[in-house]
Amino acid sequence: MQQFAHFDVKTVQEAVSLLKQYEGKAKVVAGGTDLYHLMKQRALPSEGPWGLAYPQIIVNLKTIQGLNYIREESSGLKLGAMTTLRDIERSSLVRDKWPALWQAVRAISTPTLRTMGTIGGNIAQEVRCGFYRLADNYFFCLRKGGHVCYAIQGDNRWLFSVMGGPKGCYATHAGDTPTALMALNASVRIAGAGGEKTASIEEFFDVLSPGVKLTPTDLITEIQIPPQPAGSKSAFTKFKVRPIIDFAVSNAAALITKQAGNVSDARVVLGGVYQTPIRSKDAETVLKGKSVNEIVANEAAAAALKGATPLKYNAFKVDIAKTIVRRAILAAAS
């Protein structure tokens, strides 16, 4: 690792003022499973704009009390941003009422990592692109401020987009909870130098670094999920190469509300196939008003992947994604 200064902070306010003081040079760390990997790899250039360069200041959020909570309120579920994935996994409240999120958390890496990783960090993690992350900044790619996306010509089999490369980058968002949270219509509360704000998770993800709409002085403080509609059920599915540890080649989440056996409302989200999780309104349209069976689910999954434009080596991902979306729909409709 290069050298950096490390600050433990006690409050969100203190964190924000440090971020302001070192604006553009500081990054926050929660579980550290994502950021420290990038730093240990020396994957980022030593100098450059915020997010594209090796941070000089680390603001440690683990020392803030009271950002780790799971609460049900009349307006829905409130998760402190520092809530560990393991705590969510252990919550029967989340398991019973927001199963897609619970299933997504369970699908992440290993118990050890889930004990370290947080829900805020899982949302705000960087892409797992092998070119972006390769040691010693060997590939100074477009996402780091360079000019080339090496995935287009390179080995683009696994963790790369099949739905196009907005602004030239073909990396995929690596998270599992974002897919579920988008299906569950969640919002994100953000603290920053400009004050507090709340963003719908659908609007929250962004292309290119850092992958989310946060300014250098922002940090996530809470995840909010509305109560689930009557007659609804949610489900999450993930395809990974090994039974444990691996990031999603493809994941999917569905929230399906039924009235008298037919779908009255649906939210279908795909992950691992594009720079951000993507909601498929086409798939939702297919489902609405229908009784879900294999054929309908298949049709919806096909609609979700309709515009797919795989790269040279990853066409197989389109088939896998279809299967994963179909299985999520069938599970949510069961």
Partner 1 sequence: MSTPSPTPPKPFWADFKDLSVIGKSTKYIDAYERLTGRAQFASDIVMPGMLYAHATLSPHAHAKILKIDTSKAEALPGVKAVITGREVEDKWTKARLRVNQPIIALDKVRVQGEFVAVVAAESDHIARHAASLVEVEYEKLPFYLDPEEALKPDSLAIHEGGNLVGGKPTPEYNKGDIAKGFAESDVIVEDRIAAPKFVNHSNAETYTVVAWWEGERLHLINSNQWNHGTRNAVAAFLGLPNNKVRVVSKFMGMGLGDKAGANHYVIVAAILAKKTGQPVKFFLDRNEYMVVMTQRYPVIQYMKVGFKKNGKIVAIDARQITAAGGYFNQGAVSASQTVVDYYNYDHLKYQGFNAYTNTPQAGAYRCVGHPQGNFNTESFMDIAAEKLGIDPLTFRKINVIQGTQKHPLTGEDYARPMLMNELIDAAAEKFRWKDRWKGFVSPTFKEGPIRRGVGLSVNICSHGSISGVMSAVTMLNTDGTVDLLAGATDIGGGQRTAMSMIAAEAVGAKLRDVRIEDHDTDTAPDVGGTFGSRQTPSGGSAIALAGFELRKKILEIAAGILNAKPEDLDAKNSEVFLKADPSKKTTFKAIAARQPFPLTATAGYRPPPRIAQRTLTVHMGEIEVDIETGLVKVVDYLAAHDSGRVINPVAFIDQVRGGVIQGIGMALREGLDFDPTYGHTLNPDWLEYKVPTFLDLPPKLEVIYRETLGPWSMAFGAHGIGEPPITPPMAVVANGLYNATGVRVKELPLDPRNVLTAIKLQGVKS
Q: List residues binding partner 1 (CB under 8 A).
A: 1, 41, 130-131, 134-136, 138-139, 150, 153-155, 157-158, 239, 241-247, 249, 313-314, 316, 319-320, 323-324
Yes or no: say if 98 and 61 are a contact pair by the CB < 8 Å rule. Answer: no
Place of tokens 């704000």: 197
Q: How far apart are the first and last CA of the chain?
A: 49
- Cβ of residue 1: shortest distance to partner 1, in angstroms? 8
Residue 122 C-beta: closest distance to partner 1, Å: 16
Amino acid, single-letter form, for residue 324:
I
Minimum distance from CB of 323 to partner 1 (Å)? 4
3-state secondary structure of 196: coil
Nearer to partner 1, 24 or 45 (CB): 45
Q: Which is nearer to partner 1, 33 or 224 (CB)?
A: 33
Strands 57-60 and 70-73: unpaired
Task: Report in angstroms how near the CB of residue 8 gets to partner 1 at its nearest.
Answer: 22
8 A C-beta contact, residue 281 and residue 230: no
Give the nearest distance from C-beta 118 to partner 1 in angstroms: 19
User: Which C-beta is closer to partner 1: that of 116 or that of 191?
Assistant: 116
Distance from the Cα of residue 322 to its chain's centroid: 19
CB of 157 to partner 1, least distance (A): 6
Give CA–CA dist 246/172, Å, rounded: 14
CB of 138 to partner 1, least distance (A): 6
Q: Which is nearer to partner 1, 5 or 245 (CB)?
A: 245
In contact, 82 and 30? CB cutoff 8 Å: yes
Nearer to partner 1, 3 or 65 (CB): 3
Separation CA 122–CA 60 (nearest Å): 16
Check if the beta carbon of residue 221 is closer than 8 Å to that of residue 198.
no
**Residue placing its CB nearer to partner 1 in the complex, 150 or 204:** 150
| Residues near 304 by beta carbon (within 8 Å), at least 6 away in sequence | 252, 268, 270, 280, 282, 283, 321, 322, 325
Q: Which is nearer to partner 1, 69 or 316 (CB)?
A: 316
| Residues facing 60 on adjacent strands | 8, 29
